[in-house]
A and B are shown apart, each in its own frame.
Chain A
């Protein structure tokens, strides 16, 4: 939780809300680390298993059980810290004490005043720098399902079921400084953070599975006056919901203040279906967590050697990957194809196709269209794709034909594009033949042509259809359109 006086970032004129209010947002993001086992025990860290199968004496907090820190979790936390430009420091663990049935020890092992990662920042693709106060290690709780009752919450339910599989799963909580001034920036921050932790292999960061969870601290004030009282918004389950929740909450707070009321510091629950937040608990009802140093663990000092090794092994971050694809293809780094390729980690594959002599732009398009499920390094040899991009670029295959060949190459895990094209009877049409076919089609359907010439673009379909039929599908649709446009003048 940031001290809201720590931010000196000012909203620009056009970022101010109606009435001259400035929005102040800080985000607390939890990501589950992609370790094989839990933070303090050897039970598997795996989502979706049968309830209460990934458990052991430590997970269940049986008397006498003791935590042993997972080294891989520490390394993933260090990766996050380095990717967010944090200082990695000797640190300790604290106990955060509170009773809840899915918290088996009745305390969570977390970090308090000395986190492993401190004082970093994240640069948004739009160019704004958001401060990162800390990114600390802690363990997840189990999962409660409250059965019966109207709200799905523990109060009023008939009984509750607890699954301890998630208890003890390693988390890193990334706390931003209150530097975010618009809901768009908040969404951008969450999306970029998700891309970063996925790119460095720290977390699969799936908001829908809860492996990335975002809480927003929201307040409003007039520029030049002290920050307003903040409310913490929980239960935001998608990036879109984050934007909606912040917009709603800002509006609500402004309405309260403008009608003479005051904002209470409280935790509020975002209801995505209703599109509103409502009070979960007021600050005065909050638990006193009685933090104290965890006596079952010793201080953690990663040491310079380990930090240096993790830094050296850190893969390129999304911004760097997007810049690489931009240089390769000329595409805007915020274009969908670039973002998708980077999110899937397929940027290196695109580059490999280009390096194998392929056309970079077509490589990017093919990869984003045909390899959605293929993972970071599709099994198709890059040279096979490269050959196909060249056939299309050189006009030997139409875009439609190339797509058919690509599908076959992907299905077979590789193949000779030219041979497949030949087997399918695809042959390049030279443009003069296509021109003749276009002229024949215009002559055959003068009504459609007249409409097209009058600006009715839909009418083009009839002409194109005739050309395709005449060419048995071998004509390149783009070439046909180009000829028609030049004929129209």
Chain B
């Protein structure tokens, strides 16, 4: 057997051209999981048997000369908030423990149709609420680069799975930075596409107007490949944009010659000095590659965090109300229905989830709506307007992904505000509905990786991938 390629694109080519079987590829990654998963805890569930059956079916197709998809034999890990038919989907919450959806999320359907092999469901901050994966009911995930540190979150399991070599690619969901921040902390590529580009059908909702599914990969080309496969209109999601799938792999190799890249002069401060330096290095690299660096201002950015922590909890308080012990998941018996709701939800939800449900319920309450939720919606519009003005002058904007590199367990988990600040650079794009990606660029304190964030206007994924590809090339050239 030939060596298993390290990239998803390489694996798909090798499997399709019979240089290696899908089963051999899978066993390679299952062996990696066996070797280190007990230390990392990236997965809530490894679906080895189902994956073997799927890989064998692909091999049978290839042997019989039947056509296979663009991800033939590519193992992929799924964040455990995406529904998988007949396979436990928990959101890392006790309240959903044991629940097996009767359907696949649209992204899962598309991945399977493309020939991807689902290796398992990855750990997350409960219901995607957190920035360190410490809020999982099933224990934290460890950063494969330094297991004393967090992998970021909330998609920490999916990021760690790729960083640890458990699967070449994975899917996460990003509501306020939950793909990009863990990608940065684990030294890999993470993409949040434009809101409405990837179907949310089958994604267990945290904050519906902000949630978006996207890929983790070791490289920009693989991230482009996965985004292409999972994007495109889905009639099961009313907020899905009626567009065909994105075409990105070409753009990622195009370079940035002639592009205008924005530097935000009034970016909220607080980033570690190494992070600031990496951002400057990134601008230098893009200038050297032929881009023009243009100063822009985004004055409303400092309000984004506050607006987010009203809008997201408000939607969450409503989205999570269905977990009432009546139809599925945990039920804690009590004297009457209202007491049963209370007991079930108190036992089923962790502290952070309860905190956000209470925040959101308060923000929507009669007499407070205008002051909190209503005002947050106004801030959201102002942020979108500020971005629109900036994008009159530039094609893309560069910021750090996270103000800090991966931190130690326990550093922030008891201080919600400092944890929330981890997402200060990632949240504005969610509020605007724009795409953004994190590309590893340099190392910071303790040798931990730094991620640079590329922002682009709505449906500006091609520009974004051009910049992402150029950053990757510049890093490789160093």
**B is a partner of A:** yes
A66-B361 contact in complex given A60-B327, A101-B337, A296-B238, C-beta closer than 8 Å: no
Q: Is the CB of A297 within 8 A of B238?
A: yes
Q: Is the CB of A66 within 8 A of B238?
A: yes
Q: Is the CB of B314 within 8 A of A63?
A: no
A234 at the interface (CB under 8 A from B): no
Contact with B along A46-69 (1 / 0, CB 8 A): 000000000001001111111111
Q: Is the CB of B238 within 8 A of A107?
A: no
Query: With the chains together, A291 CA to B318 CA distance in Å?
Result: 10
Q: Is the CB of A295 within 8 A of B326?
A: no
Q: Is the CB of B238 within 8 A of A64?
A: no
Of the candidates B101, B236, B338, which one forms a contact with A62 in the assembled complex, judged by CB atoms under 8 Å apart?
Answer: B101
A306 at the interface (CB under 8 A from B): no
Chain B interface residue count, CB cutoff 8 Å, equals: 44
Since A63-B89, A97-B317 are in contact, a sample of 17 more A-B pairs with Cβ atoms closer than 8 Å, ordered by chain A residue number, is A61-B322, A62-B328, A63-B99, A63-B204, A64-B202, A66-B238, A68-B237, A97-B364, A104-B326, A105-B322, A106-B321, A155-B336, A290-B317, A290-B361, A290-B365, A292-B314, A295-B239
Q: Is the CB of B205 within 8 A of A99?
A: no
Q: Across chains A and B, which 8 residue pairs bring their CB atoms closest together, nearest first?
A: A106-B321, A295-B209, A290-B364, A295-B208, A63-B204, A64-B202, A64-B83, A61-B322
Interface of B: prevailing SS? loop
B203 at the interface (CB under 8 A from A): yes
**Chain B, residue nearest A156 (CB):** B336
Question: In the complex, what residues of B have CB within 8 A of residue A62's CB?
Answer: 83, 101-103, 327-328
B341 at the interface (CB under 8 A from A): yes
Q: Is the CB of B364 within 8 A of A292?
A: yes
Question: In the complex, what residues of A have CB within 8 A of residue B238's CB?
Answer: 66-69, 296-298
B397 at the interface (CB under 8 A from A): no
Q: Is the CB of B91 within 8 A of A101?
A: no
**22 A-B contacts, Cβ less than 8 Å apart?**
A64-B83, A64-B105, A64-B201, A64-B202, A65-B201, A67-B238, A99-B321, A104-B327, A106-B321, A106-B324, A107-B321, A154-B337, A290-B361, A290-B364, A292-B315, A292-B318, A292-B369, A295-B207, A295-B208, A295-B239, A296-B239, A297-B238
B200 at the interface (CB under 8 A from A): yes
Which residues of A pack against B, CB within 8 Å? Answer: 57, 60-69, 95, 97, 99, 101, 104-107, 154-155, 160, 162, 288, 290-292, 295-298
A99-B341 contact in complex given A64-B201, A64-B205, C-beta closer than 8 Å: yes
Q: How far is the CB of B478 from chain A (nearest CB, A)?
A: 42
Q: Is the CB of B327 within 8 A of A61?
A: yes
Query: With the chains together, A162 CA to B239 CA distance in Å?
Result: 31
Query: With the chains together, A68 CA to B199 CA distance in Å?
Result: 13
Question: In the complex, what residues of A have CB within 8 A of residue B205's CB?
Answer: 63-64, 296
Question: In the complex, what residues of B have CB within 8 A of residue A290's CB?
Answer: 317-318, 361, 364-366, 369
Which residues of B pack against A, CB within 8 Å? Answer: 82-83, 89, 91, 96, 99, 101-103, 105, 200-205, 207-209, 235-239, 314-315, 317-318, 321-322, 324, 326-328, 336-338, 341, 361, 364-366, 369, 373
Q: Is the CB of A101 within 8 A of B326?
A: yes
**Chain B, residue nearest A300 (CB):** B238
Question: In the complex, what residues of A have CB within 8 A of residue B365's CB?
Answer: 288, 290
Query: With the chains together, A480 CA to B169 CA distance in Å?
Result: 97
Of the candidates A67, A106, A160, which one forms a contact with B322 in the assembled complex, judged by CB atoms under 8 Å apart?
Answer: A106
Q: Is the CB of B318 within 8 A of A97?
A: yes
Q: How far is the CB of A437 from chain B (nearest CB, A)?
A: 77
Question: In the complex, what residues of A have CB within 8 A of residue B315's CB?
Answer: 292, 295
Q: How far is the CB of B248 from chain A (nearest CB, A)?
A: 25
Question: In the complex, what residues of A have CB within 8 A of residue B361's CB?
Answer: 290
Q: How far is the CB of A350 from chain B (nearest CB, A)?
A: 45
Question: In the complex, what residues of A have CB within 8 A of residue B324's CB?
Answer: 99, 101, 106
Query: With the chains together, A99 CA to B337 CA distance in Å?
Result: 10
Query: With the chains together, A101 CA to B322 CA distance in Å?
Result: 10
Q: Is the CB of A64 within 8 A of B203?
A: yes
Of the candidates A57, A60, A66, which one forms a contact with B200 in the assembled complex, judged by CB atoms under 8 Å apart?
Answer: A66
**Chain A, residue nearest B99 (CB):** A63
Query: With the chains together, A99 CA to B203 CA distance in Å?
Result: 23
Question: In the complex, what residues of B have CB within 8 A of residue A95's CB?
Answer: 318
Of the candidates B99, B102, B209, which one forms a contact with A57 in the assembled complex, judged by CB atoms under 8 Å apart?
Answer: B102
**Chain A, residue nearest B210 (CB):** A295
A296-B322 contact in complex given A61-B327, A63-B89, C-beta closer than 8 Å: no
Q: How far is the CB of B375 from chain A (nearest CB, A)?
A: 13
Q: How far is the CB of A58 from chain B (nearest CB, A)?
A: 9
Q: Which of B205, B314, B341 has the most CB of A within 10 A?
A: B205
**Chain A, residue nearest B202 (CB):** A64
Question: In the complex, what residues of B have CB within 8 A of residue A155's CB?
Answer: 336
Query: With the chains together, A61 CA to B326 CA distance in Å?
Result: 11
Q: How far is the CB of A99 from chain B (nearest CB, A)?
A: 6
Q: How far is the CB of A281 from chain B (nearest CB, A)?
A: 14
Query: With the chains together, A107 CA to B82 CA distance in Å?
Result: 22
Q: How far is the CB of A66 from chain B (nearest CB, A)?
A: 5
**Chain B, residue nearest A296 (CB):** B208
Q: How far is the CB of A112 from chain B (nearest CB, A)?
A: 11
Q: How far is the CB of A92 from chain B (nearest CB, A)?
A: 12
Query: With the chains together, A62 CA to B100 CA distance in Å?
Result: 10
Q: Is the CB of A66 within 8 A of B337?
A: no
Q: How far is the CB of B283 from chain A (nearest CB, A)?
A: 36
Query: With the chains together, A291 CA to B367 CA distance in Å?
Result: 12
**Chain B, residue nearest A93 (CB):** B238
Question: In the complex, what residues of B have CB within 8 A of residue A97's CB?
Answer: 317-318, 321, 364
Question: In the complex, what residues of B have CB within 8 A of residue A154's CB?
Answer: 337
Question: In the complex, what residues of A have CB within 8 A of residue B338's CB?
Answer: 99
A63-B366 contact in complex given A99-B321, A105-B322, C-beta closer than 8 Å: no
Q: Which of B91, B103, B321, B364 has the most CB of A within 10 A?
A: B321
Question: In the complex, what residues of A have CB within 8 A of residue B321's CB?
Answer: 97, 99, 105-107
Query: With the chains together, A228 CA to B328 CA distance in Å?
Result: 46
Query: With the chains together, A472 CA to B209 CA distance in Å?
Result: 82
Q: Is the CB of A107 within 8 A of B318?
A: yes
Of the candidates A68, A69, A162, A291, which one forms a contact with B326 in the assembled complex, judged by CB atoms under 8 Å apart?
Answer: A162
Query: With the chains together, A69 CA to B239 CA distance in Å?
Result: 11
Of the candidates B235, B317, B322, B336, which one forms a contact with A63 in the assembled complex, judged by CB atoms under 8 Å apart?
Answer: B322
**Chain B, residue nearest A63 (CB):** B204
**Chain A, residue nearest B321 (CB):** A106
Q: Which of B201, B209, B322, B327 has the most CB of A within 10 A?
A: B322
Q: Is the CB of A66 within 8 A of B91?
A: no
Question: In the complex, what residues of A have CB within 8 A of residue B336's CB?
Answer: 155
A63-B83 contact in complex given A95-B318, A288-B365, A290-B365, C-beta closer than 8 Å: yes
